[in-house]
Amino acid sequence: RILIIGAGGQIGVELTLALRNIYGKENVIASDLKAENPLLTGTGPFLHVDAMDKNGLQQTVQKEKITQIYLLAAVLSAVGEKNPLMAWGVNMQTILNVLEIAREEQLTKIFWPSSIAIFGATSPKQNCPQQTIVEPTTIYGISKYAGESWCEYYYEKYGVDVRSLRYPGLISYKSAPGGGTTDYAIDIFHQALKTKTYDCFLDEDTYLPMMYMDDGIRATIELMEAPAEKIKNHRSYNLAAMSFSPKEIAAEIQKHIPDFRIHYKPDFRQAIAESWPQSIDDKEARAEWGWKPEFDLAKMTEDMLKNLK
Ligand code: VAH
């Protein structure tokens, strides 16, 4: 049985629904520190789980006969910069608890998301490779990069089959984003429909690697379903779909809402965005387990507006 930790979050809600479609709702237990996200109500079992409490989590794993854990709980880049020590504590203790439980309970597989936020200003800006200079400058990036090393360590030393993706900014309409720097690309759709204007917290030409949630969920499932021998990398895979700037997504939205207007009012998140690569090379994911994105900016914009109307 699968346990999803952080099932109420932006990725967690969609991953829970997708996994329940594949494996049956009774085989996918959603869990969160907060109350059940209403989007999940009635779609399968829900438990209150605090992933910071290793003993409590281990008892849940034993009692519910869990064989796989997807750990989606995390403090993202923007929120993390407001409270760095809390972000470090949550992001590290949760993955360490899950890896230890995976080792002790001989779990079959673990999924843990990393992020393009692990790269810093010294990494290549264009087509940033999976292996390169990695000097993160946000606590979120520092914790995700440290977590990648722990994942590789538990695979090499104890044979824990932990798999990971360096997600770009994920854009979705079902559940609210969790306080990241790429959240502008979600907020812009809501504002375009509500007020036809958007005050963007990033400058107009701030390019970032982005992905539609449908692609992000499919990548996660394809990675986890790939035969073990195909997975050569137990640190984390670069994953890419597209890159765009606020100016470009605004222009795409204007094709559907001609009188939509954007204004640029960069805040502290501008520096975070500028420290990240503008585009990512994901050739290993494509070669080793067949990754191929389906949504580009135009297709994503159409789908977002259609579902948010
Ligand atoms: C954030 N959405 O902005 C996350 C993501 C690449 C960005 O990790 O923090």
pLDDT value at residue 18:
98
Is-contact 117 141, C-beta < 8 A? yes
The protein residue whose alpha carbon is closest to atom 3 in ligand 1 is 180
Q: Amino acid letter at 241? A: A
Is-contact 52 71, C-beta < 8 A? no
Average confidence score pLDDT of the chain: 97
pLDDT over 90 percentage in the chain: 98
pLDDT value at residue 5:
98
Pocket lining: 113 vs ligand 1, CB cutoff 6 Å: no
Task: Point out the ligand 1 atom lying closest to the alpha carbon of residue 77.
Answer: 9
Mean pLDDT for the stretch of residues 99-111: 98
> How many CB atoms are closer than 10 A to CB 230?
11
Pocket test for ligand 1, best of 72, 123, 170 (most atoms within 8 A of CB): 170
Residue 239 has pLDDT above 90, yes or no: yes
Residue 110 three-state SS: strand
* 26 Cα to the center of ligand 1, angstroms: 31
* 261 Cα to the center of ligand 1, angstroms: 25
pLDDT digits (tens, 9 = 90+) for 65-89: 999 999 999 999 999 999 999 999 9
Pocket lining: 138 vs ligand 1, CB cutoff 6 Å: no
Residue 100 three-state SS: helix
Mean pLDDT for the stretch of residues 90-104: 98
Residue 238 has pLDDT above 90, yes or no: yes
Pocket lining: 216 vs ligand 1, CB cutoff 6 Å: no
pLDDT value at residue 3:
98
* CA 81 – CA 174 distance, rounded (Å): 26
Residue 111 three-state SS: strand
Residue 265 has pLDDT above 90, yes or no: yes
193: confidence class by pLDDT, cuts 50, 70, 90: very high
As annotated, the active-site residues are 140
pLDDT value at residue 64:
98
Pocket lining: 140 vs ligand 1, CB cutoff 6 Å: yes
Pocket lining: 91 vs ligand 1, CB cutoff 6 Å: no
Residue 176 has pLDDT above 90, yes or no: no
Residue 97 has pLDDT above 90, yes or no: yes
Pocket lining: 97 vs ligand 1, CB cutoff 6 Å: no
Mean pLDDT for the stretch of residues 167-173: 98
Quote the ipTM score: 0.96
Mean pLDDT for the stretch of residues 22-43: 97
Pocket test for ligand 1, best of 114, 137, 140 (most atoms within 8 A of CB): 140
pTM, full prediction: 0.97
pLDDT value at residue 178:
87
* 177 Cα to the center of ligand 1, angstroms: 9
